[in-house]
Structure 1
Amino acid sequence: MALKATIFKADISITDMDRNYYNDHNLTIARHPSENDARMMLRIIAFIVNAHERLQFTKGLSDDDEPDLWLKSYSDEIELWIELGQPSEQRIKKGCNQSQQMMIYAYADNSFEAWWKKEKTALQSRKNLSVFTLPEALIKILENAVQRSMQMQVTIQDGQMWLTVEGSDSAESVEIAITRHTQ
């Protein structure tokens, strides 16, 4: 019998002063059986940073043809393609070719550093690609904040993010610095 996705709910209130974006989102997140809490929270952070009324989670790990998140125009063109982790060069090529903008989000751990060192030169020709990392120290903090039902309040100002996650029995607040890597 195949394992089913676990469903999480996140009510997110976003105050993004950098983009003048102020909105609430009620998300239903299906976590694939092979996805861990740290990766799911990275998906949520990527959603928050790029929040838009049409930004949506895709089938992700369940479908090789789709990114983790995407923003499509009303005419079904892919405006933004978001991948997590360290995608292959082929995956990056696909995302850059099929969208106006591609973004990669990862934790800045040893595996990312090795990947970045190897891929940096090849990625220089991708003018519509941006790569971002979150500090490795955030992994445990974000994992500990995971609840099946979460309320999140986010403030973004001057490139800094303050995130408060309230679950059924706890609240976790953290400042998140997202680093942009230049090719």
Structure 2
Amino acid sequence: MNTDQADPDELAALRAAFDVDDGGQSALGWEKVRAFEAEHGIVLPEPYRTFVAEMTDGSYSGPPESGLLSLAELPDDWGDDGQDRDLSRPFPLTESWLWEDDPRPSEEIDPILDQVFDHGSIVLGTDGCAMNWHLIVTGPHRGHIWLITDVGAGPFGAEFGFTTAEPGFAGWVRHWAANKPWYDIA
């Protein structure tokens, strides 16, 4: 998984999976991508960066179930307007965490939860019921996809033991395109 350079094969797979053939009209464009990155103090991981700049910025077709959100969008059920989100601060997790079963007191858990939801990730979309897919943009898991729910969070990809798919945005999309219904548990 190369998060710094777009792989032509991955870009071709993304084009095919989303059937993007509108001459780039639904894409954000490089100027707006760079402006978003400058505003948030990040560089988006590849191939997602090229995907939103050249192919499409959001899609009604999945993944996830409700479609891919545009770069700056949050799900309708997000709650507040996302003012506390800081994409430049590292995403705090490197392994799955089921906070619903965590025995620590809420005074210890709540600050970490705030970071899980608001630091270092963009929301790709939702599968409903507070199940949101995030692309990690800063921190050790940069470029990985995480499913963050109301009870816990876990990384997507075979190396993490929760699916048979490759990690990263391209692996996530390829898995969806080949396996509808698409989310498997290994």
TM-score by length of 2: 0.28
Larger fraction in strand: 1
TM-score by length of 1: 0.29
